[in-house]
């Protein structure tokens, strides 16, 4: 196992840092209530509040000196790029979320009611623990409907007793939790307001590595801030929580504590991700951040809005990557698909006759690329749905039909 220490960070406390320090030699994956920052070279600019929507950005690529006879006359200047038009459309729909939770003191004397224990301390009993503390934190969120639905991270509001939302125009609202989904680290809030600015969810599957993106949120509580970067990779896993469904967009746009739940947008001012995590030696950014893709966020949001919870399909198999060595041992030339290494007794896969050693190459005609993608494909299909699996067994391809069961986080953790 590599020398990584995984750190789960809750809502950033107001007035003090909760990021754990670590030796530089250790890599810590910090789950942000505000995802973390970047190096000094990152480009940050504070977003102006309340700006009205404007047309798509114009990139000026051929500026010239319009004057007469200077030495630079007629020489094209360096291309000037501005994201101001995108920011003016996005900024009003990104909010700050303030949470208040109760911190329970540990039980120091579990045998306080034992008579012999009380005899030792006298009638006063043992010293009483300190009173409960109130903890405050902040994160970010994105307005996704003009009637007040807001997407954020589950870890931003986890355990909160009070949630308040500050809009870009400084209006403050109490918020309620419509639903929260720990496996995807997403939550849906609702405020009583209307005619709100919103962000349209884009197609995260269509995002390409190298596309320019902007991250918008409230880092470290300093106020709404915009940073720029690119999509560095797609389909990333961090493995921060057991049983989670991960398909992250990786970006080098600077994100810091307080950014979690904020927006990652493309140049069409569309939401393509919800900022969630960073990879860092000590809690500060090194330009490796992760956002939950908008297509996953859309599916989770719709379920939470409809029923308050997310239902996921489950096949009941453990699969592993099909590399050249495994393929050779199975007598297969191609390394396409995933290998079944375990079948859960009584599961949908077991009932369908899937066996250990089968190679699954497609689900409902869609090619299977890797274990994580396959797991998300299954999870994104409603329980009770009949699916068709293309498998290779003993050198022959065949079709198998299976009716999916329902994923249970508790059962997954017991495995």
pLDDT at 233 over 80: yes
Q: Over pLDDT 90: what percentage of the chain?
A: 53
Phi, then psi, of 118 in degrees rounded to 5: -70, -35
Taking the C-alpha atoms of residue 160 and residue 155, their distance in angstroms, rounded to an integer, is: 10
Q: What is the pLDDT of residues 334-353, one digit of tens each?
A: 788 899 999 999 999 999 99
Helical (H) or strand (E) element with 329? helix 324-329
Select the highest-mean-pLDDT range: 48-52, 188-192, 375-379: 188-192
Helical (H) or strand (E) element with 412? helix 409-414
In 153-240 the beta strands, taken as DSSP E runs, fall at 162-166, 172-181, 186-191, 212-217, 225-236
> Which residue, among 34, 145, 53, has the nearest Cα to 92 in the 3D structure?
53
> Which residue, among 259, 253, 151, 270, has the nearest Cα to 206 in the 3D structure?
270
> Which residue, among 173, 120, 181, has the nearest Cα to 156 in the 3D structure?
181
Q: What is the pLDDT of residues 170-207, one digit of tens each?
A: 999 999 999 999 999 999 999 999 999 999 999 999 99
**What are 120's two structure tokens?**
């030792």
pLDDT attached to residue 336: 86
pLDDT attached to residue 65: 39
pLDDT attached to residue 26: 36
Report which DSSP code applies to 64.
B
Residue 383 near residue 313, CB atoms below 8 Å: yes
Taking the C-alpha atoms of residue 73 and residue 32, their distance in angstroms, rounded to an integer, is: 50
Residue 189 near residue 152, CB atoms below 8 Å: yes
Name the residues annotated as catalytic: 155, 185, 260
Residue 186 near residue 301, CB atoms below 8 Å: yes
List the domains of the chain with CATH numbers: 1-52+80-104+112-310 (2.40.10.120), 313-414 (2.30.42.10)
Query: Stretch 29-54: mean pLDDT, rounded?
Result: 39
What residues contact 360, with CB distance under 8 A and at least 6 apart?
Answer: 319, 337, 338, 340, 354, 368, 374, 389, 390, 391
Please list the residues that pair with 176 across neighbouring strands.
190
Of 190-204, 381-395, 398-412, the one with minimum mean pLDDT is 398-412
pLDDT attached to residue 115: 59
pLDDT at 211 over 90: yes
């Amino acid at each position: 196992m590599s020398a990584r220490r995984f750190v789960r960070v809750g809502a950033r406390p107001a007035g003090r840092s909760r990021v754990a320090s670590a030796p530089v030699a250790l890599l810590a994956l910090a789950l942000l209530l505000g995802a973390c920052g970047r190096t000094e070279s990152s480009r940050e600019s504070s977003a102006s509040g309340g700006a009205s929507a404007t047309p798509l950005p114009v990139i000026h690529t051929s500026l010239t000196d319009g004057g007469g006879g200077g030495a630079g006359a007629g020489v094209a200047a360096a291309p000037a790029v501005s994201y101001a038009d995108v920011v003016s459309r996005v900024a009003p729909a990104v909010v700050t979320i303030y949470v208040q939770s109760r911190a329970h003191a540990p039980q120091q004397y579990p045998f306080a009611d034992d008579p012999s224990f009380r005899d030792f301390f006298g009638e006063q009993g043992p010293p009483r623990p300190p009173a409960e503390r109130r903890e405050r934190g902040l994160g970010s969120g994105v307005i996704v409907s003009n009637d007040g639905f807001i997407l954020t991270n589950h870890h931003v509001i986890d355990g909160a007793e009070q949630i308040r939302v500050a809009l870009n125009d400084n209006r403050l609202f109490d918020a309620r939790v419509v639903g929260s989904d720990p496996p995807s680290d997403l939550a849906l809030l609702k405020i009583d307001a209307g005619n709100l600015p919103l962000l349209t969810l884009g197609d995260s599957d269509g995002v390409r590595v190298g596309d320019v993106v902007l991250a918008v949120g409230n880092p470290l509580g300093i106020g709404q801030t915009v940073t720029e970067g690119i999509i560095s990779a797609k389909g990333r896993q961090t493995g921060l929580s057991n049983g989670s469904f991960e398909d992250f967009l990786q970006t080098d746009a600077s994100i810091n504590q307080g950014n979690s739940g904020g927006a990652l947008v493309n140049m069409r001012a569309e939401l393509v991700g919800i900022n969630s995590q960073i990879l860092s030696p000590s809690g500060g950014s090194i330009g490796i951040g992760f956002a939950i893709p908008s297509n996953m966020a859309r599916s989770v949001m719709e379920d939470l809005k409809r029923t308050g919870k997310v239902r996921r399909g489950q096949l009941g198999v453990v699969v592993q990557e099909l590399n050249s060595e495994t393929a050779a041992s199975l007598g297969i030339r191609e390394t396409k698909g995933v290998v079944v290494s375990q079948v859960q007794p009584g599961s949908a896969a077991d009932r369908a006759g899937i066996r250990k050693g089968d190679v699954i190459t497609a689900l409902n005609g869609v090619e299977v690329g890797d274990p994580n993608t396959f797991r998300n494909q299954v999870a994104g299909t409603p329980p009770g749905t009949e699916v068709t699996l293309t498998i290779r067994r003993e050198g022959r391809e065949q079709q198998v039909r299976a009716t999916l069961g329902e994923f249970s986080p508790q059962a997954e953790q017991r495995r």
